[in-house]
Amino acid sequence: MPPGLMFQAPVKDPSRGSPMIKITQTVVFLLKALVAGLAMAFVVLYFWPQFDKTDRSALAAPGNSTPGTKPLPSGPFSYPDAVDLAAPAVVSIYTTSLDPQPVDAQTQEKLGLRMLYRMSRDMGSGVLVSEDGYILTNHHVISSAQNIQIGLWDGRIALAQVVGSDPQTDLAVLKINLNGLPIIPIAESEPVRVGDVVLAIGNALGLSHTVTMGIVSATERNTLDSLAFEGFIQTDAAINAGNSGGALINARGDLIGINTRHLGGATGAQNIGFAIPMATAKEVMKQIIDYGSVRRGWLGAWVSNMPPTTSADGKPVAAGLMVRKVTRDGPAWLAGIRQGDEIVSLNGEVVLDSQAFELKIAMSKPGTQIELEVSRNGQKFETYATLIQQPPME
C-alpha cells in the first residue's frame, strides 16, 4: 500500500440484502400495480359498460343479500319474449252499427219518416282466451254493433257472435269459429303489485298489435264512479282509442287485465289508464258462457264509507260501513240488519271501502251464505245472510 494512503472498507448499503426490506418493496410494488389495474378497469367499464359480464341473477339469489337489505330484483330489461307469447292472441275488433238520427219536422212531413239511421264504424280490441274461440273484450266496444269482425294476428278475418255482455263491469264475451287459434296465458296466482312492469297490447288508433309499456300505479282503484263495480288496475302504459278490450300483460307475457278506459281529453291527464283485473274478468266470462248473463249476489243493503276517525293518541282507527238503507224482507233485513247499523267485517275481514264491499257481494253466487259483524249503538253482534239473485237495475 502506498505510503500516506489508508485502507477504507466499502460502506455496506443498508437498502440491499435485508430480507425485510425486499419484502416491503415487493408489497409496495404489488399494491401500486393493483391500484393501477382497478383504476383502468373502472375507466373501461364506465365508458364501455358492455364489457360488464357480472351475473346479476346470482346477486339476487336468496341468501346473497346482506342482513337488513332486500335482494336485488331480477327480471328482463327487454320484453320480446313476453310480446311473442301474448300478442298473437290479441285481436282487432271492427264494428258496424246503425245509429238513429232524429229529423226535423219538415223532413218528417216530406218523407214521412220520424227517424233516420246513419251507419257508423268503430274499433276496439279483444283477447282470445280459449281454443274454441271465446274472446274477452269490453261491453262498450260491441254494445250497439250490428256487425262485428275480428282481425287475427295471422291475417284471418272472422265474423263474431255475442255470447253475452255485462255493462256493470264493462265486459263482453264473443265467439268465432276458426281452428288453430293462439291462446294467451292467464296469470293465475301471483298478485299484481304497484311498481310491476306491464305492457298494453291492442288496436290503438287502428294500428293493430301496438305495444306500450308502463308500470302498475295502483290496484283496486274504485273511485272513478264510471261503473257499478270497479276495482281497476291503474297503469301509465299508454292506452288510446282502440285499445279498449285489449290485453294488459306482465313482464312474462301473462294476461293480468283487460284494458277498459283512460283519462284524458278535457282532464289533461297523460298516461292514466285502467284495466279490469283477471279475477273479475274470469268470473264474469264463466257466468256469461254458462248462463248467457252474470248472476250476482245481492244483500239488499246500501252502504257508505264511514268518516275517518282517530284515537286519543292521534292514530287512525279502522271504521266500518254505514248502512243507509235496507230492503224490507231482503237478505240483510232477514239477518237483522237495519238502517243506521255499522257493518264491521265480512267473512272475518274488516271492511273499509263500500265499493270493494259491494263488489265482493256481487261476485258471490246467489245462495251463498255470508258472515257479517255488525255494530249497533256501540254493541257488536254477528249474523248470517243468504244472498239472492240481484234484481234488474233500474
Neighbours of 101 (CB within 10 A): 9
**On the CB side of 158, how many CA atoms lie within 13 Å of its CA?**
19
Which entry of 92, 125, 166, 170 is annotated as an active-site residue? 170
Which entry of 125, 139, 140, 354 is annotated as an active-site residue? 140
290: annotated active-site residue = no
Q: Which of 142, 111, 147 is nearest to 125 (CA)?
A: 142
The contacts of residue 242 (CB under 8 Å, 6+ apart) are 123, 124, 125, 202, 203, 204, 205, 206, 207
Query: What CA–CA distance (Å, rounded) separates 257 from 62?
Result: 30
Query: What CA–CA distance (Å, rounded) separates 175 from 162?
Result: 7
Task: Provide the 8-state DSSP code for 186.
Answer: B
- Residue 118: its H or E element: strand 115-128
Neighbours of 220 (CB within 10 A): 16
- Residue 231: its H or E element: none
225: left (phi over 0), alpha (psi -120 to 50) or beta: left
320: left (phi over 0), alpha (psi -120 to 50) or beta: beta
262: annotated active-site residue = no
Torsion of CA 60, 65, 68, 73, to 10 degrees: -10
139: annotated active-site residue = no
Which entry of 125, 244, 345, 354 is annotated as an active-site residue? 244
Distance of CA 66 to the CA centre of its chain: 32
CA angle 223, 227, 233 (to 5 degrees): 55
Pair 306, 323: CB distance under 8 Å? no
Pair 303, 284: CB distance under 8 Å? no
Catalytic machinery residues? 140, 170, 244
